[in-house]
Amino acid sequence: MRTSRAAAAAASLPLLLLVALLVAAEGRRHKDGSGDEEAKACDKGWECSGSRFCCNDTITDYFKAYQFEELFAHRNDRSLAHAAGFWDYHAFITAAALFEPRGFGTTGGKEVGMKEVAAFLGHVGAKTSCGYSVATGGPLAWGLCYNHELSPSQSYCDNSNELYPCVEGVEYYGRGALPVYWNYNYGIIGQGIKQDLLNHPELLEQNATLAFEAAIWRWMTPMKRKQPSAHDVFVGNWKPTKNDTLSKRYPGFGATMNILYGDLICGQGSIDKMNVIVSHYQHYLDLMGVGSDKAGDNLDCADQVAFNPSSKNLDS
């Protein structure tokens, strides 16, 4: 009898193992939504629909108009701000809604979303700031002060680019929330957001929603095949290769600077241009209630080799 029971128990082990594996797989499917047809895509109305990312908190769930006002408290102060009355919360949310189904601010849980919004706006704030050390509210309170470069040193026309040739009489100086420079960058981004920015780059200083849309498109879009986007390296979608680790490129906020600015910012040690971007990100985390202590690892790119070494970039 003991032998029969032992044999029966042994024979049942493969079946029990199979059942256990099926139960575990079912649990994983329910956890990530892949096994539930309804969980694959959620509908949050105008802001986010038709995507699994919409099943998470959307940006308006955790980032309100009053918080936008706190982050950019002096953007309408006409004593110093040069784009007073241009930027507002509605323009940002309207643009962000186009990318939330792709995971912008909706990847992972609420905290990850808040951190990504703070990271993106940290870049925006630093690149459009007119703050200085003794300015009211401090140097980090003056983001969105500009919507275009005030005194361009050149027209930023690269006549050698045949795909996006310069248009006669048009200048491609810095404009927008993440200022765009050079004809080919206006061409690439314009194609991405379906706007004729090559002929009409001025749209980025005339329409705040388009300016934010262009900036978020840049954040979400890799510039080359087999390279990550700023979004990817920040939210954890990117796994560094051996070459990346040898180049000291790791996931985190630092790598977003590498992707957006390359060697104009990165690989130069602890320079002010890099540190001010990091400071804006940390400051915004504090204002949003996340806390700068949760900014994550690999905050800077001081020692990183650029993904795309170049003297020309979206930032100049």
- Sorted by where each begins, the domain ranges of the chain are 57-294
pLDDT at 1 over 50: no
From CA 304, how far away is CA 260, in angstroms rounded? 13
- Sequence-distant (≥ 6) Cβ neighbours of residue 56 within 8 angstroms: 106, 107, 108, 109, 110, 113
pLDDT on residue 282? 98
The residue that leads in pLDDT, 9 or 100, is 100
Q: How far apart are the C-alpha atoms of 261 and 268, rounded to whole Å? A: 12
Say yes or no to pLDDT of 197 above 80: yes
Among the residue ranges 39-43, 169-173, 259-263, the one predicted with the least confidence is 39-43
- pTM over 0.75, yes/no: yes
Which residue, among 290, 281, 286, has the nearest Cα to 230 in the 3D structure?
281
Mean pLDDT of 102-127: 97
In contact, 110 and 280? CB cutoff 8 Å:
no
pLDDT at 309: 87
Average model confidence (pLDDT) across the chain: 88
Dihedral of CA 21/23/27/30: which sign? positive
- Token duo for residue 14: 């493969």
Tell me which fold the domain 57-294 belongs to: Lysozyme (1.10.530)
